[in-house]
Structure 1
Amino acid sequence: MSDIIVLADDPDLAHLIDLIDILPHPRVTGFWGEGSNSISSKLGYRIKEILRGRGQAADVDYLAVYVLKYLGHGNKHITEEQITRHLTGVGGLPAAGHAWVEDATRTAWTLVTRYSLPSWRRGIQSPGQAWIED
């Protein structure tokens, strides 16, 4: 895996960006919040790095974690109901909001495990190694 990650390198990343694109514009403060601590500013920094061709594994990982934290299933920041009301072109269809949250959560989790799993293994290089050590 190269140090720089662009959408063409990772179809899951491209899909997550597509999902985010059908949410309101980043300047819609009624959805994203206001100021430098808004959810759009947290996501935006990482998205911009990726789209400008400077994205690294940490950018993808942080973006995915932010999606899980702020938009994923069961979060308390932007609820599934808010997402349902604001999905572009869907017109408040509850099943679409539910599907968006499920898809975004699954895709973000795939990216988090892809880019973070080596560090989560606590230095163990081979998957499952802890189970076969004596």
Structure 2
Amino acid sequence: MSDFITLDDDSDLAHLIDLIDMLAGPEVTSLWGEGEHSVGSKFAYRIKTILSGQGRVQDVDYLAVYVLKYLGKGNTYISEDLITKSLRGVGGLPAAGHAWVEDATRTAWILATRYSLPQWRGYRGTPGQNWLSAP
């Protein structure tokens, strides 16, 4: 088994990349920001790594967390209105922007829990282990 995760390996990852591709490209600084510490540069680093076939668990995890943090429902960085305006081919339809945010958030959460849950679980290596000794 390869240490690398490709779009062929994970259909949820492929779907998330497709969703991100529906947004205006990285050259649109009004969406992604400017400079080496911009939201766009964070996304670009992980997406380029994944698309080059060199993506590892941490790259997928970071990409998913970036979506949750910067594009997900209720984030304070890139508003749903700005996402709606930046969706290609949708013509600013508010329902499409809302649906995009919901879908991207749900898909990113699936990926984050798939690749991070063992780490988040910490010392409790067995799912549900805490409940076995509960009163």
Is the shorter-chain TM-score for this pair beyond 0.5, marking a shared fold?
yes
Q: How does 1:74-93 map to 2 (within 5 A)?
A: 74-93=74-93
1:59 maps to amino acid: D
Identity of aligned residues (%): 68
Say what the alpha-carbon RMSD is for the aligned residues: 1.1
Structure 1, unaligned runs of 5 or more: none
User: Which consecutive aligned stretches of 4+ in structure 1 deviate over 6 angstroms post-superposition?
Assistant: none
Q: How many residues align?
A: 134
The separation in 2 between residues aligned to 1:122 and 1:32, in whole angstroms, is 33
Is 1:12 the counterpart of 2:12 in the alignment? yes
1:123 maps to amino acid: Y
SS at match of 2:100: helix
Matching residue of 2:22 = 22
The separation in 2 between residues aligned to 1:128 and 1:25, in whole angstroms, is 42
The separation in 2 between residues aligned to 1:48 and 1:88, in whole angstroms, is 21
Is 1:105 the counterpart of 2:112 in the alignment? no
The separation in 2 between residues aligned to 1:31 and 1:117, in whole angstroms, is 30
2:63 maps to amino acid: L
Post-superposition CA distance 1:51-102 (Å, at most 9, x none) = 0010000000000000000000000111000011110000000000000000
Matching residue of 1:119 = 119
Report the alpha carbon displacement of residue 2 of structure 1 after superposing the two structures with TM. Answer: 3.7
Structure 2, unaligned runs of 5 or more: none
TM-score if structure 1 supplies the norm length? 0.97
The separation in 2 between residues aligned to 1:34 and 1:23, in whole angstroms, is 16
The separation in 1 between residues aligned to 2:120 and 2:2, in whole angstroms, is 20
TM-score if structure 2 supplies the norm length? 0.96
Q: How does 1:37-116 map to 2 (within 5 A)?
A: 37-116=37-116
Report the alpha carbon displacement of residue 22 of structure 1 after superposing the two structures with TM. Answer: 0.6
1:72 maps to amino acid: G
The separation in 1 between residues aligned to 2:27 and 2:39, in whole angstroms, is 11
Report the alpha carbon displacement of residue 133 of structure 1 after superposing the two structures with TM. Answer: 2.8
